[in-house]
Amino acid sequence: MDQKILSIGNAEVPALGLGTYRLTGREGEKTIEQALALGYRHIDTAEMYGNEDVVGNAIINCGINRADIFITTKVWPSNFSKKKFIPSVESSLKRLRVDNVDLLLLHWPADDDTNRLATELLSECLHLQYAKHVGVSNFSLSQLQKAQAQAPIFCNQVEYSPYNNNNILLQYMRGQNMLLTAYSPLARGTVLHEAIIKKLAGKYQKTASQIVLRWLLQQDNVAAIPKAGSEKHSLENLQVFDFELSEEDMLAVFQLAKK
């Protein structure tokens, strides 16, 4: 199936990725391998998830060229120090069994001084070629703007489902041609029960999950990384590139943020 690819700077990012939080052990490895076999080419992990080794195994086992998969990992704030940051990234790369990741993020903001240091260390990771691109996660607009003074910030990964209003942040990021990666895009499954989502699922002959993901992926500069724990859900979430929500229906879903 043809997927949407986002062109951000010199990077090509598959707009739909697989979130891997809680995908661990042999079961998690199998789920990630199946998703790659189905066509996923964007995988989101983090040092904190304790599954970089599982992601690394799945990538090796699936036999797909490493260069064809967009891999994101994240550094946890307890490693935001001169002594710990670079060794923690080196450990992540070792567990993932790759020479570099496509995107390296600061997982959560700390205080301003610590963020400044961590962002400088992100830049160092670019020079060391440990990451092709760097960014942040859970940063407010003002924290993001400060980070941009220290490093070429490519992405801010934030919670974004129909329940969140990220309008101001997203407008700014679009103006800078940055990637907004939507985490918990299905609001951990809760938004799938909303009446308007169910109504649109009936109208477009799609599932509730497909309506929500399509709503996100129809927005410029937005990628989404739903977590799916089964092959059935992985496949369903991938099948969102063969239909389009009307402008009116896009607006109807935006109304959920006002609830």
Contact between 188 and ligand NAP by CB under 6 A: the answer reads yes
Q: How many residues bind ligand NAP (CB under 6 A)?
A: 26
Contact between 206 and ligand NAP by CB under 6 A: the answer reads no
Site for ligand NAP, residues 82 to 121, rule: CB under 6 A: 107
Contact between 14 and ligand NAP by CB under 6 A: the answer reads no
Contact between 20 and ligand NAP by CB under 6 A: the answer reads yes
Contact between 137 and ligand NAP by CB under 6 A: the answer reads yes
CB of 9 to ligand NAP, least distance (A): 21
Candidates 41, 95, 133, 233: give the one binding ligand NAP (CB under 6 A). 233
Contact between 185 and ligand NAP by CB under 6 A: the answer reads yes
Measured at the CA of 72, the angle between CA 29 and CA 16, to 5 degrees, comes to 80
| Order of strands, sheet of 131-137, starting from the edge strand that comes earlier in the sequence | 18-19, 42-44, 70-75, 101-106, 131-137, 153-159, 179-183, 222-224
Candidates 187, 217, 253, 256: give the one binding ligand NAP (CB under 6 A). 187
How far is the CA of 72 from the CAs of 1, 41, 103, 146, 255, in angstroms?
A: 23, 11, 5, 22, 31
Candidates 109, 227, 238, 245: give the one binding ligand NAP (CB under 6 A). 227
Contact 182, 224 (CB under 8 A): yes
What would the x/- binding string for ligand NAP be over residues 45 to 84, using CB under 6 A?
----------------------------------------
Tokens of 9: 């700077």
Q: Coil, strand, or helix at residue 111?
A: coil
Candidates 14, 19, 56, 135: give the one binding ligand NAP (CB under 6 A). 19
CB of 232 to ligand NAP, least distance (A): 7
CB of 147 to ligand NAP, least distance (A): 15
Q: Is 21 an annotated catalytic residue?
A: no
Candidates 29, 44, 52, 249: give the one binding ligand NAP (CB under 6 A). 44
Lookup result for tokens 């195994």: 57
Contacts 24+ apart (CB under 8 A), 169-178: 169/140, 169/141, 169/144, 170/219, 170/221, 170/222, 172/141, 172/144, 173/144, 173/221, 174/220, 174/221, 176/148, 177/8, 177/9, 177/221, 178/8, 178/135, 178/153, 178/154, 178/221
Residue tagged active-site, from 21, 40, 49, 160: 49
Contact between 21 and ligand NAP by CB under 6 A: the answer reads yes
Strand residues in the chain grouped as ranges (E): 5-8, 11-14, 18-19, 42-44, 70-75, 101-106, 131-137, 153-159, 179-183, 222-224
Q: Give whichever of 16 and 228 is closer to ligand NAP, judged by the CB atom.
A: 228
Catalytic residue ranges:
49
Where on the chain is the footprint of ligand NAP (CB under 6 A)?
19-21, 44, 107, 137-138, 157, 183-189, 192, 209, 225-230, 233, 236-237
